[in-house]
């Protein structure tokens, strides 16, 4: 049950990525913003690990390859595609495109992990997908702020995120989620460092307002550190068919946060779609709770 709640909270944090970074990319170069985000997140996680003596930050060699794969696709390429895509499309539209993540996760679970798909899981997944379709229908903003090139970049970011989530299922050692998240963000910062140093030349740091710097700090600590940690903690033990359903909360939270912070409006289609997505998440959590009780009784 704890892992389900953690994964849900992680999806909400990560869903805020598109809303927050919509503001950031207006004033801070993409590579520099990514470097600050990853470096601050890494420092935060290692600081927590230093005070937690019961947590080992050691990672087995056998898991390093898989973690490096996660970093390259889910952090480096995801950041590269998503931040450049946000310059060309809206935050809400980005969230809707990221809604394809559950489909890719379900496919990976069926064909790579060979997971069995029960009728109940399939039914809940279909409810979530119907919600995403209705949410997509409700996207009425197809103006200049939502270009095809931006949508394509977000689509590639979605593929990277899907690989990132599913790859955690293949970690063979007993790597603590905190250690894994800290290692991922640190390696990600190393990947972006040469590009960030190049874009720093001639950059006017005083031109960035306080709100944008606050967004950068939240993006590093809130999303990259806390959000990724919660997602890794939950995804490690939850079947991909279930994570596929719960990952629909990522685009749903993007839409809701875009309404609150970017002052975008929700129409009736979007409200219905969000209700279906939230319902599927509640059904999934209630299913896990019932499974836990059944296991304890046997």
pTM for the predicted model, two decimal places: 0.77
- Please count the other Cβ atoms lying within 10 Å of the Cβ belonging to residue 113: 14
Tens-place pLDDT, residues 243-268: 777 877 887 788 788 888 877 776 77
pLDDT at 142 over 70: no
> What is the pLDDT, as a whole number, of residue 213?
92
> What is the pLDDT, as a whole number, of residue 297?
47
Helix ranges restricted to H, the chain:
2-15, 17-24, 30-51, 61-70, 78-86, 91-98, 101-111, 119-137, 148-167, 177-200, 210-218, 228-235, 240-246, 249-261, 268-297
Half-sphere exposure of 22 (CA within 13 A, CB side): 24
Asked if 227 contacts 14 with a C-beta cutoff of 8 angstroms, the reply is yes
| Banded model confidence at residue 292, pLDDT cuts 50, 70, 90 | very low
Asked if 249 contacts 8 with a C-beta cutoff of 8 angstroms, the reply is yes
pLDDT at 188 over 90: yes
> What is the pLDDT, as a whole number, of residue 294?
47
> What is the pLDDT, as a whole number, of residue 222?
93
| Banded model confidence at residue 296, pLDDT cuts 50, 70, 90 | very low
Tens-place pLDDT, residues 153-177: 988 998 888 888 887 777 766 677 7
């Amino acid at each position: 049950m704890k892992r389900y709640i953690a994964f849900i909270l992680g999806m909400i944090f990560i869903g805020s990525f598109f809303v927050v970074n919509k503001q950031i990319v207006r004033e801070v170069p993409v590579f520099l913003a990514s470097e600050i985000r990853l470096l601050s997140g890494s420092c935060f996680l290692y600081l927590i690990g230093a005070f937690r003596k019961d947590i080992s930050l050691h990672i087995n060699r056998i898991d390093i390859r898989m973690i490096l794969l996660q970093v390259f696709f889910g952090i480096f390429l995801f950041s590269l595609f998503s931040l450049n895509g946000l310059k060309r499309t809206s935050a809400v539209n980005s969230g809707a495109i990221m809604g394809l993540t559950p489909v890719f996760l379900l496919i990976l679970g069926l064909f790579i992990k060979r997971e069995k798909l029960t009728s109940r899981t399939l039914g809940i997944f279909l409810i979530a997908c119907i919600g995403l379709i209705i949410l997509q229908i409700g996207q009425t903003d197809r103006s200049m702020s939502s270009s095809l090139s931006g949508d394509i970049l977000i689509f590639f970011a979605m593929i990277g995120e899907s690989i990132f989530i599913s790859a955690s299922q293949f970690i063979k050692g007993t790597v603590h989620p905190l250690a894994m998240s800290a290692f991922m963000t640190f390696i990600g910062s190393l990947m972006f460092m040469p590009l960030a140093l190049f874009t720093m030349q001639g950059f006017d740091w005083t031109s960035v307002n306080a709100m944008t710097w606050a967004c950068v700090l939240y993006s590093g600590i809130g999303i990259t550190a806390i959000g990724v940690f919660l997602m890794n903690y939950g995804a490690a033990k939850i079947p991909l068919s279930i994570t596929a359903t719960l990952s629909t909360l990522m685009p749903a939270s993007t839409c809701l946060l875009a309404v609150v912070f970017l002052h975008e409006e929700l129409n009736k289609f979007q409200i219905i779609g969000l209700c279906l997505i939230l319902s599927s998440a509640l059904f999934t959590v209630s299913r896990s709770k019932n499974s836990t009780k059944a296991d304890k009784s046997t």
